Amino acid sequence: MGPRFQNDDRVRLYREMYEQHGPIAPVVLPGDVPCWLVLGYRELHRITSDSALFSRDSGLWNQWPNIPADWPLLPMVGKQPSILYTVGERHHRRSALVSDALAAVDPFELRDRSERFADQLIDRLCGRGSADLIADYAKELPALVLAQLYGFSDQAGAELVPGINALVDGGPDALRGRDRVQAAMSGLLTSRREAPAAGVASRMLHHDYSSDFSFQEILEDMMVNFVAGHQPTADWIGNSLRLMLTDDRFAASLSGGRHSVAEAMNEVLWEDTPSQNIAGRWATRDTQLAGRHIAAGDLLMLSFAAANADPQVRPDRTSFTGGNSAFLSFGHGDHRCPYPAQDIAEGIARTGIEVLLDRLPDVELAVSAHALVWRSSPFLRGLASLPVRFTPTPTSAAGVYR
């Protein structure tokens, strides 16, 4: 949680922990609650591959008697009735339901919708000559596109954006934001239950496995899809734009140079992944791993960021810009980010960045690279703001650009 974690020294910090403690480090969470932080690539891969030994069921946690009702990490670790904490055969069916509903999203339609919303957002700011690409762009686009894919109208989707951002920002409006999004999601599902239509919500309700799950469980998974989909995709856009605007290898590509948007996005998933750390897995019995004795019910926090930079896997820290996708940023194993969800995130982020660079070709940082501030979360990594300037340009024809 210290200042080194918040700035660009973070990877060195993970490496120092690795050198001092090995691939699995003993750490404490707020309130001196003990857990293991998994820093090693191989160990993280092993843990996420073995869901019988390392379960996603947080009910197994041996620390529950020490956790107060107002513990700040409860939203990250607590038991929720969603796909995230479901295990075994029930999880397989639930995962198939979610994946199938997302897999039916047509990639051309996804690109088309992402372009249309990107153009509308740029229309709002292009005459100004300056913008904050986080608040004005990255934190809007994924929610607008996802809402549309789920079955909301454009208007209803736009109304969800402040609520979901309040929820993920975790400030004083977080619970109000969650309630607003949940009420809208519940309304959409109710109407689709009665009248099936296009969209993810309807497909989740009318799947072969739907009868295995209650309305409330499907609602929970729609919330996971929306919340777990919006913020990391927003951070992927923001972190990739930061790289392109601050690194000479990419700066040239703003005017058609050497390194592409896809390469920047790939490098971000290695070096600056939105998914830094996640809780986690719980040991189902006593075991040994990397020389550590892990007791039944111990919590293992997964550090995707540390594993991606594991000195055993990347001794010289060579950059993997060239399209190597062996990063662990989407997780691994049964509970990894569903493949169609990864494709959706990629489609939104890539289109969003390409349209922005197309519409604002001379966009540049309005502050020095060192003045950029990261949000303080140890879980998701993203910028608090990304101030830029550019030559003011006219709006596209009513958001229909190209």
- Judged by CB under 6 A, the residue of 297, 331, 387, 399 near ligand HEM is 331
**Under 8 Å between Cβ of 106 and 198:** no
d(CA 11, CA 19): 12
d(CA 25, CA 53): 19
Q: Does 320 help bind ligand HEM (rule: CB under 6 A)?
A: no
For 260, the token pair is 């592409």
# chain residues binding ligand HEM, by CB under 6 A:
25
Q: Is 222 helix (H, G, I), strand (E, B) or coil?
A: helix
Taking the complex as a whole, the smallest distance from the CB of residue 92 to ligand HEM amounts, in Å, to 9
For 81, the token pair is 């009735």
Taking alpha carbons only, the member of 94, 111, 153, 55 closest to residue 351 is 111
| Region of 24-32, 238-246, 286-294, 335-343 interacting with ligand HEM (CB under 6 A) | 335-343
Site pattern 90..129 for ligand HEM (x: CB under 6 A): -----x--x---x---------------------------
- If the CB atoms of residues 321 and 329 are measured against ligand HEM, the closer one turns out to be 329
Q: Residue 19 class from Cβ within 10 Å (0-12 exposed, 13-18 middle, 19+ buried)?
A: exposed
Nearest-5° Cα angle at 268, 39 to 343: 100
Q: Does 335 help bind ligand HEM (rule: CB under 6 A)?
A: yes
Q: Does 168 help bind ligand HEM (rule: CB under 6 A)?
A: no
Taking the complex as a whole, the smallest distance from the CB of residue 127 to ligand HEM amounts, in Å, to 30
d(CA 105, CA 72): 36
- Judged by CB under 6 A, the residue of 341, 355, 372, 386 near ligand HEM is 341
- Which residues on neighbouring strands pair with residue 36, listed in sequence order? 26, 300
- If the CB atoms of residues 151 and 229 are measured against ligand HEM, the closer one turns out to be 229
- Binding residues for ligand HEM restricted to 269-288, rule: CB under 6 A: 274-275, 278
Q: Is 158 helix (H, G, I), strand (E, B) or coil?
A: helix
Q: Does 199 help bind ligand HEM (rule: CB under 6 A)?
A: no
Site pattern 54..93 for ligand HEM (x: CB under 6 A): -----------------------------xx---------
Taking alpha carbons only, the member of 65, 58, 123 closest to residue 84 is 58
Taking the complex as a whole, the smallest distance from the CB of residue 269 to ligand HEM amounts, in Å, to 7
Nearest-5° Cα angle at 68, 64 to 69: 105
| Region of 164-172, 208-216, 282-290, 339-347 interacting with ligand HEM (CB under 6 A) | 339-347
Residues that bind ligand HEM (CB under 6 A): 83-84, 95, 98, 102, 224-225, 228-229, 232-233, 236, 274-275, 278, 329-331, 335-338, 341, 344-345
